[in-house]
Chain A
Amino acid sequence: MDRIFERLSDIVGSDYVSNAAEERFIYSRDPGVQRPHEPDYVVLPNTTEEVQKIVLLANEEKIPVVPLGGGLVLSGLSIPLKGGIVLDMKRMNRIIEVNEKSHYAVVEAGTAMGMLSAYLAKHYPTLKNSLPDAPPVATVAGNVMIHGSGHLSQSEGGFHSEMVTGLEVVLPTGKVVKLGSCSTVPYWFSRAPLPDLAGLFLGWNGTTGIITKVGIKLYPRPLLNDGLMFLTEDVDTVPDIMFRIVNTEMCEDLTFFITPKPAMFEGFQMTIISITANSDKEMRLKKEIIRDTLKDYYESKEAGFVPIPKEMKAFLLEAPQKNLSAFADVRKGGGFEYVGAIIPVEKIPDAYRAGLEISARNGITYSLGGRMIGRGHSFMFYFAYPFNRADEDDMNRVRQALDDTNHAALKMGGIPWKAEVSGQQLILKQMWPATYEFMQEIRGLLDPNGIMNPGNWEVNP
Chain B
Amino acid sequence: MKKEYADIIHRCFRCGWCKLPLNFKDFNCPSYLKYRFESFSSGGRLWLIRAWMNGEIQTSERFAKILFSCVTCKNCVEACAMPKIRQYLVDMVIAAREDMVEQGVIPPGVRDYLKAVSISGNAYKMPQEQRAIWADGLDIPLYSGQEYLFYVGDVGSYDEVGKKMARSVAMLLKKADISFGILASDEITDGNEVKTLGEAGLFEQIASQNIEKFKGLGVRKIITLSPHAFNSMKNEYPKLGGNFDVYHYTQVLNAAIKDISMAEVDLKVTYHDPCYLGRWNNEYWAPRSVLRSVPGLELVEMDRNMQNALCCGGGGGNFFTDILGTGPDSSSRVRVKEAIDTGASVLAVACPICYRMLSDAVKAEGLEDRIEVRDIADIVNDAVAV
Residues in A lying within 8 Å of B, measured CB to CB: 15-16, 18, 20-23, 25-27, 31, 42, 44, 70-72, 88, 90-91, 112, 114-115, 117-118, 122, 135-138, 322-323, 325-326, 328-329, 332-336, 388-390
B62 engages A21 (CB within 8 Å):
yes
Q: Which residues of B contact A336 (CB under 8 A)?
A: 13
Check A26/B44 contact, CB under 8 A, given A115-B20, A136-B17. yes
B14 proximal to A (CB < 8 A): yes
Task: Tell me the residues in window 55-72 of chain B with beta carbons closer than 8 Å to chain A beta carbons.
Answer: 56-58, 60, 62-63, 66
Check A325/B17 contact, CB under 8 A, given A21-B62, A22-B39. yes
Which residue of chain A is the closest to B44 with respect to CB atoms?
A: A26
Q: Which residues of B contact A16 (CB under 8 A)?
A: 36
A115 engages B84 (CB within 8 Å):
no
Spot the interface stretch: B22-30, B189-197, B267-275.
B22-30
B10 engages A389 (CB within 8 Å):
yes
B37 engages A44 (CB within 8 Å):
yes
Q: Which residues of B contact A115 (CB under 8 A)?
A: 20, 24-26
Contact partner of B63 (CB less than 8 A), chosen from A22, A325, A329, A332, is A22
Q: Which residues of A contact B15 (CB under 8 A)?
A: 31, 72, 135, 325, 328
A25 engages B11 (CB within 8 Å):
no
* Nearest CB in chain A: distance from B80 CB, A: 9
Q: Which residues of B contact A122 (CB under 8 A)?
A: 303
* Nearest CB in chain B: distance from A16 CB, A: 7
* C-alpha gap A329/B8 in the complex (Å): 10
B38 proximal to A (CB < 8 A): yes
Q: Which residues of A contact B60 (CB under 8 A)?
A: 20-22
A25 engages B81 (CB within 8 Å):
no
* Nearest CB in chain A: distance from B270 CB, A: 16
Check A329/B85 contact, CB under 8 A, given A21-B60, A22-B62. yes
* C-alpha gap A335/B10 in the complex (Å): 9
**Other 9 A-B pairs with CB < 8 A, given A23-B39, A328-B11:** A22-B48, A22-B62, A22-B63, A25-B39, A26-B39, A118-B24, A118-B26, A137-B19, A335-B13
Task: Tell me the residues in window 254-277 of chain B with beta carbons closer than 8 Å to chain A beta carbons.
Answer: none
B82 proximal to A (CB < 8 A): yes
Q: Which residues of A contact B83 (CB under 8 A)?
A: 326, 329
* C-alpha gap A396/B36 in the complex (Å): 32
B25 engages A135 (CB within 8 Å):
no
B13 engages A332 (CB within 8 Å):
no
* C-alpha gap A348/B62 in the complex (Å): 49
* C-alpha gap A421/B39 in the complex (Å): 25
A26 engages B38 (CB within 8 Å):
yes
Q: Which residues of A contact B82 (CB under 8 A)?
A: 325-326, 328-329, 334
Contact partner of B48 (CB less than 8 A), chosen from A25, A323, A332, is A25
Question: Can you offer 13 A-B residue contacts whose CB atoms are under 8 A?
Answer: A18-B39, A21-B57, A21-B58, A22-B63, A31-B13, A72-B15, A90-B36, A115-B25, A135-B16, A136-B20, A328-B82, A329-B11, A335-B13
* C-alpha gap A141/B12 in the complex (Å): 25
* C-alpha gap A336/B17 in the complex (Å): 16
* Nearest CB in chain B: distance from A178 CB, A: 26
* C-alpha gap A330/B56 in the complex (Å): 26
B47 proximal to A (CB < 8 A): yes
Closest 10 CB pairs of A and B: A114-B24, A325-B81, A137-B16, A328-B13, A334-B11, A118-B24, A390-B10, A325-B15, A389-B10, A20-B62
Q: Which residues of B contact A325 (CB under 8 A)?
A: 13, 15, 17, 81-82
B51 proximal to A (CB < 8 A): yes
Which residue of chain A is the closest to B26 with respect to CB atoms?
A: A115
Q: Which residues of A contact B13 (CB under 8 A)?
A: 31, 325, 328-329, 334-336
Q: Which residues of B contact A138 (CB under 8 A)?
A: 16
Q: Which residues of A contact B38 (CB under 8 A)?
A: 23, 26-27, 71, 88
* C-alpha gap A390/B81 in the complex (Å): 19
Q: Which residues of A contact B66 (CB under 8 A)?
A: 22
Contact partner of B11 (CB less than 8 A), chosen from A114, A137, A332, is A332
Which residue of chain A is the closest to B82 with respect to CB atoms?
A: A329
Q: Which residues of A contact B85 (CB under 8 A)?
A: 329
Most B CB contacts (10 A, CB to CB) among A23, A70, A72, A115 go to A23
* Nearest CB in chain A: distance from B383 CB, A: 32
B16 engages A26 (CB within 8 Å):
no
* C-alpha gap A103/B257 in the complex (Å): 50
Task: Tell me the residues in window 296-354 of chain B with beta carbons closer than 8 Å to chain A beta carbons.
Answer: 303
Q: Which residues of A contact B17 (CB under 8 A)?
A: 135-137, 322, 325
B10 engages A333 (CB within 8 Å):
yes
B84 engages A332 (CB within 8 Å):
yes
B37 engages A18 (CB within 8 Å):
yes
B37 engages A23 (CB within 8 Å):
yes
* C-alpha gap A317/B12 in the complex (Å): 25
Contact partner of B24 (CB less than 8 A), chosen from A20, A27, A117, is A117
Q: Which residues of B contact A332 (CB under 8 A)?
A: 8, 11, 84
Q: Which residues of A contact B12 (CB under 8 A)?
A: 334
* C-alpha gap A115/B84 in the complex (Å): 26
Q: Which residues of B contact A70 (CB under 8 A)?
A: 16
* Nearest CB in chain A: distance from B370 CB, A: 21
A26 engages B47 (CB within 8 Å):
yes
